[in-house]
Amino acid sequence: MLISLILLLLALLGTPLFAIIAAGALLGFYQNDVDLMVVAIEFYRLTDMSILLAIPLFTFAGYLLSESRAPHRLMRLTQALLGWLPGGLAMVSLTACALLTAFTGASGVTIVALGALLYPALMQAGYRENFSLGLITTSGSLGLLFAPSLPLILYGVIAQQMSVGRPFTIDELFLAGIMPGLLMLVLLSGWSYSQNRHLPLIKFTGTEAWQAINEARWELPLPFVVLGGIYSGYFAVSEAAAVTTAYVLIVEVLIYREIELQKLPEIMRKAMVMVGGILVILGVSLASTNYMIDADVPGLLFGFVKEHISSQLTFLIALNIFLLILGTLLDIFAALVIMIPLLLPIAVGYGVDPVHLGIIFLANMQIGYFTPPIGMNLFIASYRFQRPMLQLYRATLPFFFILLLSVLIITYWPALTLGLSSLR
């Protein structure tokens, strides 16, 4: 108990997360007379996970896209195709943010990369300031459910290593996120339409649409390369990541020439710093997971929960509340490696499918990014747009309730998540 309090105190004082997890695992193994080399062995096990190759490759590709003018071309294309709809620019913003977040895996990058483009465009088009701020702040986290989202891949890696519940593939997880992600986009688009149908429309012209398509012609094949290659069986996920990275590198550096060769090391450094942090946390968390399994922590926790919660419905309600709070406190990658080893055995014990749990987890964490008082996106948007936090709280509130409704639908309608994968 004393050790747990010391570790908690160290965490509150700002000690790096990987050090806290590693210390907990080392102390646990030491107290049980287990050779501490087991921690090093868990790190070595990472080299046997071919799927992990996809994480640095997709991250590097996402950073390359965000550093180029790809977000501008994406905005022009979606606006040319959807701008004629009432609330069309808002729908354009939602779509563009979701696509960029899917590739970068980081909502903060999306707010910074697209915020300077979207916010002035929305204000110039007559959208209310609070609506515009709320839209950009919340849509920064959209896309976490769409392939090739890094949190989706990381959840799959952790769950597969635990061997709890039925086995599943990363491809199945990618399919499972499509319909829930589209549900969120549709509900937010409906809200955007209802709030802004009085605004003047942008007339659709074939010339502008063709010019926008032609300008983005080299980037348009990307989703088809990733999803088409994976679901056709032609690529494994790691192979699709390699092809995607090579393709983006050629397009942005050699064809568009928007990224100079001398800038590549700096972009690579920023991307790999993020990847390195994820892999270090993942390595020590696998060791920590093994200790918890040996100590039967999930079993004891499940027994405790079972005493107080009798039905799956009640468990899912409690799970949603817990994950919403967790999303405001922890980064999504940290939350995955810490909580999935504990939650997955309990959820399976209540009859929740592991793939369904992954989508529920990420959907809740997605909302946690902008849940008051300390959602990370709120701070990023406040700094980026120089607006007070209280204004951002008010601005994001309608979007919060809409996405909360979508989370409830995702949670209590498993077929929405599992339907596509069951057709394979």
**Contact yes or no for 151/58 (Cβ under 8 A):** no
The mean predicted confidence, pLDDT, of the chain is 79
- Distance between start and end Cα atoms, the chain: 48
**Contact yes or no for 141/366 (Cβ under 8 A):** yes
User: What is the SS3 string spanning 293-310?
Assistant: HHCCHHHHHHHHHHHHCC
In a domain, 22, yes or no: yes
pLDDT of 291: 67
Say how far residue 141 (Cα) sits from the centre of its chain.
7
Average pLDDT over residues 217-237: 75
pLDDT, one tens digit per residue, over 15-52 is: 666 677 777 777 777 777 777 777 777 777 766 666 67
pTM of the model: 0.76
pLDDT of 68: 81
Average pLDDT over residues 209-214: 86
Average pLDDT over residues 350-370: 88
Count how many domains the chain has: 1
Q: Is the pLDDT of residue 408 over 90?
A: yes
Average pLDDT over residues 385-393: 81
Q: Is the pLDDT of residue 201 over 90?
A: no
pLDDT, one tens digit per residue, over 345-357 is: 888 888 889 999 9
Q: Is the pLDDT of residue 1 over 60?
A: no
pLDDT of 280: 75
- Choose from 47-61, 154-168, 242-256 the range with maximum mean pLDDT: 242-256
pLDDT of 104: 67
Taking alpha carbons only, the member of 280, 289, 345, 294 closest to residue 315 is 345
In a domain, 209, yes or no: yes
pLDDT, one tens digit per residue, over 60-107 is: 887 887 788 877 787 777 777 777 777 777 887 888 788 777 776 665
pLDDT of 14: 62
In a domain, 2, yes or no: no
**Contact yes or no for 105/62 (Cβ under 8 A):** yes
3-state helix, strand, coil in the chain (%, to 5): 80, 0, 20
In a domain, 3, yes or no: no
By residue range, what is the domain housing residue 74? 16-422
In a domain, 9, yes or no: no
In a domain, 337, yes or no: yes
Taking alpha carbons only, the member of 78, 89, 82 closest to residue 199 is 89
Say how far residue 369 (Cα) sits from the centre of its chain.
10
